[in-house]
Amino acid sequence: MGKIILFNKPFGVLSQFTDAGTVGSARRTLSEFIDVPGVYAAGRLDKDSEGLLVLTDDGRLQHKISDPKHKTSKTYWVQVESEPGDEKLDELRKGVLLRDGRTLPAEVNRIIEPPNLWRRNPAVRYRKTVRDSWLEITISEGKNRQVRRMTAAIGFPTLRLIRYRVGEWTLDGIELGKWREG
């Protein structure tokens, strides 16, 4: 097995080392945080999402993690607007119909805000009249922005999305913007 890097990606950082599409752009990339030659992200985590990003120089491992046919499970901590009831959570557990097809069933649990969670910059917008709540959602496929689209499909938009686990690796012990070998 090749080199494995586990990175706690901050909000607003692209899951790539360069931003060649927009020369002169101020968008942040992985190169600001990781100076390890030859590693690439195994799967994506959009710039509006935070948390665990696995990088490797092993093409087979990268393919196994990122290709949905291998069904590598991923767990997310999801802050949603309002508080979904059991029937709405059951919709996620059964699979939700999105524009590109029905999702596979997800594991879904209500959780309290994860302990020792870092502050997001910029902060999530809070509304005095609308509560929010936290869910832990585990999926084993990787449609584009899937978790965000799933919570929106049941009427509870995602406010904050943090990937906690990919396969056997977790965020445990990795500070925001830091990495360690896996």
Cα–Cα distance, 53 to 7 (Å, whole number): 5
- Report the catalytic residues: 46
> Which among 132, 159, 137 has a CA at the least distance from the CA of 92?
137
Instruction: List the one residue out of 148, 69, 84, 161 whose CA is nearest residue 120.
Output: 161
Place of tokens 């092993």: 58
Contact 138, 145 (CB under 8 A): no
How far is CA 8 from each of CA 103, 165, 177, rounded to the nearest angstrom? 26, 11, 5
- To which residue do tokens 């309290």 refer? 112
Amino acid at 139: I
